[in-house]
């Protein structure tokens, strides 16, 4: 951590680094969950949903880059082994054992809601005390809110499709 960086920090840096490592682990798990889920996925609107899930995967990886860069700036050591991802992450990794599109979307939705809580927590912890981390947290938070919204929209569309099919059958 640079001298000025240390002088201007008004919070418990070790605690912050721990939170950031948890977030980093969650991003990697979210990346893989999206990435593998998109490939296994089957069901309606597959051709539309799959590329969006892969885009989200890439965006989660982008978040990991932002988080790891900040950990290093703060003088911390980022998670060094994948074994620690599941130990550090507070957001559960959900194996896509059911490849049906709705099941995959529900899993990703729970992940996004957990990510939203995570960056809300980091933003609150750093607000007015560490402007750089705060800015990073709110930038990522905006993406996670967008991800949640995208998935909610897909679920709404699938439900409408199911309703329409039901009406035709009656």
Q: Which residues contact Mg ion by CB under 5 A?
A: 150
Smallest distance from Mg ion to CB 108, Å? 11
Smallest distance from Mg ion to CB 71, Å? 26
Contact 91, 118 (CB under 8 A): yes
Residue nearest to Mg ion (CB): 150
Smallest distance from Mg ion to CB 55, Å? 6
| Residue 1 or 45 having the CB closest to Mg ion | 45
* CB-count burial class (<10 Å; 0-12, 13-18, 19+) for 77: exposed
| Residue 55 or 166 having the CB closest to Fe ion | 55
User: Cα–Cα distance between 161 and 45 in angstroms, integer?
Assistant: 10
User: Cα–Cα distance between 119 and 169 in angstroms, integer?
Assistant: 45
User: Cα–Cα distance between 31 and 25 in angstroms, integer?
Assistant: 10
| Residue 22 or 27 having the CB closest to Fe ion | 27
Indicate which of Fe ion, Mg ion, none lies near residue 150 (CB less than 5 to 8 Å, by partner kind). Answer: Mg ion
């Amino acid at each position: 951590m640079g001298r000025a960086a240390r002088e201007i920090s008004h919070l418990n840096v070790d605690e912050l680094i721990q939170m950031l490592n948890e977030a980093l682990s969650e991003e990697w798990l979210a990346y893989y969950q999206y990435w593998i889920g998109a490939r296994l996925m089957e069901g309606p609107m597959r051709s539309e949903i799959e590329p969006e899930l892969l885009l989200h995967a890439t965006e989660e990886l982008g978040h990991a880059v932002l988080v790891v860069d900040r950990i290093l700036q703060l003088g911390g050591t980022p998670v060094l082994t994948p074994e620690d991802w599941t130990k550090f992450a507070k957001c559960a990794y959900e194996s896509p054992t059911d490849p049906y599109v709705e099941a995959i979307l529900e899993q990703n939705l729970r992940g996004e809601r957990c990510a939203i809580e995570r960056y809300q927590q980091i933003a609150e912890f750093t607000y007015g005390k560490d402007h750089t981390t705060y800015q990073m947290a709110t930038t990522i938070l905006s993406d996670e809110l967008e991800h949640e919204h995208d998935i909610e929209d897909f679920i709404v569309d699938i439900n409408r499709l199911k309703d329409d099919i039901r009406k035709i059958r009656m």
